[in-house]
Chains A and B, each alone.
Chain A
Amino acid sequence: EDQVTQSPEALRLQEGESSSLNCSYTVSGLRGLFWYRQDPGKGPEFLFTLYSAGEEKEKERLKATLTKKESFLHITAPKPEDSATYLCAVQYNAGGTSYGKLTFGQGTILTVHP
């Protein structure tokens, strides 16, 4: 069963058209939720880590929020250079060395047209 689900799979926006990406999780004992950006042919680039429900973090046009069941990545007035795949991942407590691993969603492909 999926533990981390991202939606939509793909999103097309016009420049300046704000929207949100969703990351829902079903794990218990969440210890952290992570957002990454990945450009074609490159490794993922870290954006944010959120630790508890109600927490919010911002970076330029991006704002990440966290509830007990999901996280949103809000993109305000996007530009074409925001086009990328956005990945979320969770770290949860499953005993042993589980604190050392992250479980990723499948990503949302964002395209921003000028």
Chain B
Amino acid sequence: NAGVTQTPKFQVLKTGQSMTLQCAQDMNHEYMSWYRQDPGMGLRLIHYSVGAGITDQGEVPNGYNVSRSTTEDFPLRLLSAAPSQTSVYFCASRYRGRSTDTQYFGPGTRLTVL
């Protein structure tokens, strides 16, 4: 049981390049989310999903796309990288039951856009 895995751990891009951050969970959780964390800004929600085929925008969705074709995977795509997207990106997986609600985070991807 690996929990939430993210790849890569580190990435350097040039302005205008595109890439996909991978996220996978093996807990069969319906809910998954992508956050970015910047100094002094806390965790800000980019996109989230409440099940396979269902995604929605968070607070800061511009410049990012997501899809959820399976329960396990929730990739985040940067369409044309900009220096403002330099950040640490966290993927999370969440179990929401009748009497319990728990969210697990991955280890993060540190992205630098030059």
Contacts and interface: CB of A to CB of B under 8 A. Distances in A.
Contact of A105 (B33, B42, B103): B42
Interface of A: 32, 34, 36, 41-46, 49, 51, 87, 89, 91, 96-97, 99-107
Contacts of B104: 46
Given A44-B90, A87-B42, A101 B48 contact: yes
Nearest to A42: B107
Interface size class of B (residues with CB under 8 A): 20 to 34
Given A96-B56, A106-B41, A43 B101 contact: no
B50 A97 contact: yes
B107 A91 contact: no
Contacts of B56: 96-97, 100-101
Given A43-B105, A43-B107, A46-B103, A100 B49 contact: yes
B100 interface: yes
Interface in B5-63: 31, 33, 35, 40-45, 48-50, 54, 56, 58-59
Contacts of A99: 50, 96
Contacts of A101: 33, 45, 48, 56, 58
Interface of B: 4, 31, 33, 35, 40-45, 48-50, 54, 56, 58-59, 90, 92, 94, 96, 100-108
Contact of A49 (B40, B90, B100, B107): B100
A102 B33 contact: yes
B103 A104 contact: no
Nearest to A103: B45
Nearest to B30: A100
Contact of A32 (B44, B48, B101): B101
11 contacts: A36-B105, A44-B90, A97-B48, A97-B50, A99-B50, A100-B33, A101-B33, A101-B45, A101-B56, A104-B43, A104-B45
